[in-house]
Structure 1
Amino acid sequence: MRTPLDPDMFDPVCPTGLSPIRIGDKWAGMVIRCLEGGPRRFSELRIPLRSVTARTLTKSLRTLERDGLITRAGQPVEYRLTELGRSLLGPMDAACEWARDHWDELLDARETSPH
Structure 2
Amino acid sequence: MDTSVICPRFESAISLLSQRWTGLIIYQLLSGPQRFSQLTEVIGISGRLLSERLKNLESNGLVIRTVHPETPVRVEYQLTEKGMSLKPVMDEIQNWSQHWVDLTETK
Give the share of equivalent positions with the same residue, in percent: 36
Match of 1:60 in 2: 53
What is the total number of aligned residue pairs between the two structures? 85
Higher helix share: 2
Paired AA for residue 30 in structure 2: E
Distance in 2, matches of 1:65 and 1:92, equals 18
Q: Secondary structure at the match of 2:65?
A: strand
User: CA shift at 1:74, angstroms?
Assistant: 1.9
Provide the C-alpha distance between the structure 1 equivalents of 2:100 and 2:24, rounded to a whole number of angstroms: 20
2:19 alignment partner in structure 1:
25
In the alignment, structure 2 segments of 5+ residues that lack a partner are 1-15, 69-73
Amino acid in structure 1 at the alignment position of 2:35: R
Greater fraction strand: 2
Distance across 1 between alignment mates of 2:18 and 2:63: 13
Task: List structure 1 runs of 4+ shifted beyond 6 angstroms.
Answer: none
Which residue identity is paired with 1:99?
A: S
Structure with more relative contact order (C-alpha pairs < 8 Å, separation 6 or more): 1
Residue 54 of structure 2 aligns to a residue in which SS? Answer: helix
Give the Cα separation in 2 of the matches to 1:54 and 1:101: 32
Q: How many angstroms apart in 2 are the aligned matches of 1:33 and 1:25?
A: 14
| CA RMSD, 1 decimal | 1.9
Shift, 1:66, TM fit: 0.9
